[in-house]
Structure 1
Amino acid sequence: MAKMVLLAQFLSLNGTDVSEYVRKAELTMEVEDKDVTTYSSLGWKEVLGGLKSGELSIEFLQDVAATEIDSIMWPLFGTVVPFVTRADQAAVGASNPSYSGNVLIKQWNPIEGSIGDEASVGVGYPTSGAVARAVA
């Protein structure tokens, strides 16, 4: 069984590579379960998949200097933008698939933390529309 350590994850938002600011990124997807149980199910619950959804959760290291992450994210607040992520910054391939779609930039926390903490920003962006997986 192959094992993997994330060392150089790639993340692009709205066409801008923001990997240098990202400490953690997670793309999760799920599908609603719809109960279609009937008497002929013989006491067993039956389900079908309904609507699909996803979320891109990111922890950024904050930088409010001109041209840094705060100035990149602030104009995106409230908009739907494209994203691309993959486990490694190397080329997309069978061993490094790319996941892409759109997310709603529904929050931005310009100031977050306690005294003595590193300046970081934790956000969660819902996907909007389909998420695609590509190997080429």
Structure 2
Amino acid sequence: MAKMVLLASFLSINANNLSSYTSKIELVAEVEDKDVTTFGSLGWKEVLGGLKSGSLGIMWKQDVAASALDSIMWPLLGTVVAFEVRLDNAAVGTSNPKYTGSVLIKKWAPIGGSVGDVAEVDVEFPTSGAITRATA
């Protein structure tokens, strides 16, 4: 199995390539576990998969200049928009799949930090609908 160091991941939100503002991207997909245990399970818990959900976590390097990160994200607050993420910003392919879907821009923190800190915004957006994986 190949190992990889993340050096140039790709992130697009609402058709804006925002890769240059990010230092962490984490896409998580999960499924609820529903307990279907009965006396016939002989003391072993049995589960089935329920509803699927996901989240997109991002660490942003804040930029409030005109046409920069804050001016792109602020108007999206409260809306559901498309996203695309890839491990590498190279072309999509079998060794570099893309994951796409929609997220709710649930919160935005234009200001945060302490004296001497890098101006960063750490957010997590819930997905809305399916997350898809494609290699073409």
Same fold (TM over 0.5): yes
TM (norm. structure 2) is: 0.99
Q: Structure 1 unaligned runs (5+)?
A: none
Matched, 1:63 2:63: yes
- TM-score computed with the length of structure 1 as normaliser: 0.99
In the alignment, is residue 102 of structure 1 matched against residue 102 of structure 2?
A: yes
Aligned residues with identical type, % of pairs:
68
Taking the TM superposition and a 5 Å limit, the aligned residue runs for 1:25-104 are 25-104=25-104
- Which residues of 2 match residues 117-132 of structure 1 at below 5 A? 117-132=117-132
Post-superposition CA distance 1:20-52 (Å, at most 9, x none): 100111001110000000111111000000000
- Structure 2: gaps spanning 5 or more residues: none
Instruction: Give, in whole Å, the separation in 1 of the partners of 2:20 and 2:60.
Output: 9
Q: Give CA-to-partner distance per residue, 1:73-108, whole Å, 9 cap, x none.
A: 000000000000000000101100000000000000
Partner-residue secondary structure (3-state), 2:71: helix
Name the SS of the counterpart of 1:67 in structure 2.
coil
Rounded Cα–Cα distance in structure 1 between residues aligned with 2:95 and 2:84: 16
Please report how far the alpha carbon of residue 55 of structure 1 lies from its aligned counterpart in structure 2 after TM superposition: 0.4
Structure 1 segments, 4+ long, off by >2 Å, are: none
Following the alignment from structure 1 to structure 2, what is the Cα–Cα distance between the partners of residues 118 and 2? 33
RMSD over aligned Cα atoms: 0.5
